C-alpha cells in the first residue's frame, strides 16, 4: 500500500512514515526536492524552485493527477493551520488550508476511488460540558474558537462527501523537535532560550498528553485494520494537572521553569480535558508505549540539543507580541 500524506513537513507528518512502515505501508512526499521537479513535469505543470504543492492553492484536478501518477492507494490528510494563536494571526490562510484544502483532497480522492484518513482535533467538542467526564466520539460538538469551527467544518465535509473515510483525533500530541504547539515544547524551548512566555492555560486544570509516536502508531494500525466509515479519539488516558507537569519538566531541566511562564487561566476554554480511547481499543490492541515521564525526557533532550535555527515553537507568540495582538481575545 502507498500513502500520500498532506502536511508531510509538519509535526505529525514527519513522524507518520515510521509508523506506516511497520505495516508495509510506504509513504510519498510530493514536496521532496528530489521528486518535486519530476512530479511537476509529469503532471504538465511548469516548475520553478519556489513551487510548493499545497492543498489550498492546487485544485482537485492537480491532486487527481498526482494520485494517479504516483499510484496512491490512500491519502492521509494532515495539512492544516494548527492552533488558536496561529489561526488568529493567519485567519485567511487557515480557512483556505483547513476547509478549501480539505474539499480539494476529498474531491480528488473520490475521483481516484481512494480513501481519506482525516486527522482531526479534540477542540471540536463543547469541553465545558465534560469537566468531570471523559469525552467520547459522539460527545456534543461546540468549538469555542475559530480554529475549532474550521476543524468541525472540515470533519463534516469528510463525513458527508468522502466516499471512504476515517477520522482520527489525537489529544495533546507532543514529542520534541517539530512540535510547535504543545505546552511541553514551548516551555522547554523557552528554558533553552531563557525567554518568558505567555501560556493560555489554567495551571490547575487537568490535561492528558500523548506522545506523537504513539499517536502515529494508532493511525497506522487503524489503516491496517481497515476501520473506515468511523471516527476515533486517541488518548494516553494518563491525566495530569498542568502545574504537576511543569514540576516534572523542572526536575528534568534541572531548574524551576515556573518563573518563565505567565499563565492566562481565563483563556483555558477546554478546562479539564480528557478523552476516552475505549472505542478504538475495542477494535484494536493499541496501548501507548511511551510514558509521560519518558516522553518528557525525550522532548527535553531533543529540543535542547536542536541546532536548526528554523525551529522555534514560540514564533507565533513572538509575532503576536511584535504586532501588538492580544491573543487572549481569541480564546
pLDDT in tens, 85-143: 899 899 999 999 999 999 999 999 999 999 999 999 999 999 999 999 999 999 999 99
What does the pLDDT look like over 281-296, one tens digit per residue? 999 999 999 999 999 9
Residues 6+ apart with CB under 8 A from 163: 109, 110, 113, 115
Measure the CA–CA gap between 294 and 292, rounded to whole angstroms. 5
What does the pLDDT look like over 143-157, one tens digit per residue? 999 999 999 999 999
**Rg of the chain over CA atoms, in angstroms?**
19
Break the chain into its structural domains and give their ranges. Answer: 2-330
What does the pLDDT look like over 5-47, one tens digit per residue? 998 888 999 999 999 999 999 998 776 545 566 666 665 665 5
pLDDT at 79 over 60: yes
CATH topology (fold) of 2-330: Rossmann fold (3.40.50)
Tell me the β-bridge partners of 230.
166
Per-residue pLDDT, 57 = 55
Per-residue pLDDT, 45 = 60
**Mean pLDDT over all residues of the chain?**
91
327, 317 in Cβ contact below 8 A?
yes
DSSP 231: E
Q: Which three cell numbers stand for residue 276?
A: 476516552
Amino acid at each position: 500500500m502507498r500513502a500520500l500524506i498532506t502536511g508531510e513537513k509538519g509535526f505529525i507528518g514527519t513522524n507518520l512514515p515510521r509508523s506506516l512502515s511497520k505495516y508495509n505501508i510506504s509513504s510519498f512526499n510530493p514536496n521532496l526536492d528530489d521528486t518535486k521537479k519530476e512530479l511537476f513535469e509529469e503532471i504538465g505543470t511548469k516548475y520553478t524552485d519556489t513551487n510548493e504543492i499545497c492543498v489550498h492553492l492546487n485544485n482537485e484536478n492537480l491532486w487527481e493527477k498526482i494520485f494517479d501518477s504516483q499510484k496512491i492507494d490512500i491519502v492521509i490528510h494532515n495539512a492544516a493551520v494548527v492552533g488558536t494563536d496561529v489561526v488568529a494571526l493567519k485567519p485567511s490562510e487557515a480557512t483556505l488550508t483547513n476547509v478549501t484544502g480539505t474539499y480539494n483532497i476529498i474531491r480528488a480522492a473520490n475521483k481516484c476511488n481512494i480513501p481519506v484518513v482525516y486527522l482531526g482535533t479534540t477542540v471540536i467538542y463543547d469541553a465545558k460540558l465534560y469537566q468531570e467526564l471523559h469525552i467520547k466520539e459522539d460527545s456534543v460538538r461546540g468549538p469555542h474558537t475559530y480554529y475549532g469551527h474550521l476543524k468541525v467544518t472540515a470533519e463534516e465535509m469528510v463525513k458527508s462527501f468522502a466516499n471512504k473515510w476515517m477520522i482520527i483525533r489525537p489529544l495533546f500530541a507532543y514529542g520534541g523537535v517539530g512540535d510547535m504547539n504543545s505546552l511541553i515544547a514551548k516551555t522547554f524551548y523557552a528554558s533553552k532560550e531563557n525567554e518568558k512566555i505567555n501560556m493560555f492555560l489554567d495551571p490547575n486544570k487537568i490535561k492528558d498528553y500523548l506522545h506523537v509516536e504513539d499517536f502515529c502508531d494508532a493511525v497506522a494500525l487503524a489503516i491496517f485494520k481497515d476501520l473506515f466509515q468511523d471516527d476515533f479519539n486517541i488518548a494516553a488516558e494518563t491525566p495530569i494537572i498542568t502545574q504537576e507537569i511543569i514540576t516534572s519538566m523542572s526536575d528534568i531541566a534541572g531548574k524551576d521553569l515556573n518563573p518563565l511562564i505567565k499563565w492566562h487561566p481565563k483563556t483555558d476554554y477546554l478546562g479539564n480535558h480528557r478523552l476516552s480511547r475505549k472505542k478504538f481499543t475495542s477494535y484494536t490492541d493499541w496501548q501507548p508505549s511511551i510514558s509521560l515521564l519518558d516522553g518528557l525526557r525525550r522532548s527535553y533532550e531533543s529540543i535542547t540539543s536542536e541546532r536548526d535555527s528554523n525551529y522555534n515553537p514560540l514564533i507565533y507568540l513572538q509575532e503576536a507580541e511584535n504586532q501588538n495582538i492580544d491573543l487572549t481575545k481569541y480564546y
